[in-house]
Amino acid sequence: MKKLYGVIGDPIGHSMSPDMHNDSFSALQIDAHYQPFHIKSEDLKTAVAGMKAIGLSGFNVTVPHKTAIMPLLDEIDPLAQAIGAVNTVVREENRFIGYNTDGEGFVRGLNEEYGSSVLDKKIAIIGAGGAARAIYYTLSQQGSIRVDIANRTPEKAEELKNRCPYPVETVLLSLEELEKQLGHYDILIQTTSIGMSPKVSETPISVANIRPDAFVSDIIYNPAETMIMKEAKKQGARVQNGLKMFVYQGALAFEKWTGVLPDPKRMQKIVEDKLGGTSC
Ligand code: NAP
């Protein structure tokens, strides 16, 4: 019988996950379908029970349900528990198990573009929201040595650091301090929403002091090149956007559901075509 997967969120109409996953099911000749479900917060509990009852084999979870869904699941993977958010649910018999593939998706995409492991590099993260949490905890879990954080609201960065269950050396900086000390870092990870519409001409910090051999990874992928990426390129730095993070979080979810890692290049092409162009 055809297996059913999906993604739940509110809104959900813009999601590129259905095209990405359905293409991979078809390319791998897996008899399955991936469907978007528009679920409002007040219906989340009923929706999860309904998905279990109708036999959904797994699903992705997006805004605003990534944290709210956690008490509704039967088990949470330790990394997802630490991050405090679930983006992938796997069905095992009659149990729903929650995972978070955002951080691992980011690290895979970063390693690929950087050309080697980043764990021994000196890394700075701008931002301390949900995406930064997934990235920081995953880097720490995988053995990163030094990951500093700069956020507009210092208390949020402090909370992120204090709650990290994995050993990592972290200095908390203001955005101004990071600007001045940028020359110390090999890799800068931009996780704020600055650079997305309507703030396409803004950057969260000036990158005038970045080293020409540094690497800037912005997790935004629409627009394909944010202002901070443009400015960093002018200083000679290499850059990447958030497309690989998005593709790999999806590929890793697919692998958890089916045991097969789909072709990330094929997935990326689907998303690029949907976005109407290529990206970095
Ligand atoms: P979030 O939890 O709302 O966090 C937003 C972060 O941006 C916070 O650190 C916030 O600082 C900072 N920020 C917002 N406006 C700011 C401003 N004007 N000046 C300075 N800092 C500002 O959001 P999120 O879920 O982490 O998502 C962040 C971005 O990542 C979004 O653009 C999202 O689309 C993107 N994203 C991409 C992927 C991917 O697959 N590529 C996955 C997830 C998210 P404060 O703490 O001071 O408010």
> Ligand 1 pocket test: which of 16, 61, 152 has the largest number of ligand atoms within 8 Å of its C-beta?
152
Question: pLDDT per position in the chain (280 positions), as tens?
Answer: 899 999 999 999 999 999 999 999 999 999 999 999 999 999 999 999 999 999 999 999 999 999 999 999 999 999 999 999 999 999 999 999 999 999 999 999 999 999 988 999 999 999 999 999 999 999 999 999 999 999 999 999 999 999 999 999 999 999 999 999 999 999 999 999 999 999 999 999 999 999 999 999 999 999 999 999 999 999 999 999 999 999 999 999 999 999 999 999 999 999 999 998 654 4
CA distances from 276 to 102, 113, 279 (A): 24, 22, 10
Ligand 1 binding pocket includes 131 (Cβ within 6 Å): yes
Catalytic residue among 40, 45, 52, 66: 66
- Ligand 1 atom closest to Cα of residue 153: 47
Contact criterion met (CB below 8 Å) for 178 and 205: yes
Instruction: Report the pLDDT value the prediction gives residue 60, as an integer from 0 to 100.
Output: 98
> Ligand 1 pocket test: which of 192, 205, 220 has the largest number of ligand atoms within 8 Å of its C-beta?
192
Nearest CA to ligand 1 atom 30: 191
Nearest CA to ligand 1 atom 40: 246
With a CB cutoff of 8 Å and minimum separation 6, the contacts of 101 are 87, 88, 248, 249, 250, 252, 253, 256
Domain spans of the chain, in order of start? 3-100+244-275, 103-241
Torsion of CA 262, 263, 267, 273, to 10 degrees: -150
Fold of 103-241: Rossmann fold (3.40.50)
- Name the residue with tokens 């692998």: 255
Nearest CA to ligand 1 atom 31: 193
- How far is ligand 1, taken at its centre, from the CA of residue 191, in Å? 5
> Ligand 1 pocket test: which of 193, 220, 243, 280 has the largest number of ligand atoms within 8 Å of its C-beta?
193
Q: Same CATH fold, 103-241 and 3-100+244-275? A: yes
- How far is the C-alpha of 268 from the C-alpha of 82, rounded, in Å? 28
Under DSSP, the state recorded for 70 is: G
pTM over 0.85: yes
CATH node for 3-100+244-275: 3.40.50.10860
Question: Is 66 tagged catalytic?
Answer: yes
What is the tally of helices (H) and strands (E) in the chain? 10, 12
- How far is the C-alpha of 81 from the C-alpha of 100, rounded, in Å? 9
Ligand 1 binding pocket includes 34 (Cβ within 6 Å): no
Q: Distance between terminal CA atoms of the chain? A: 39
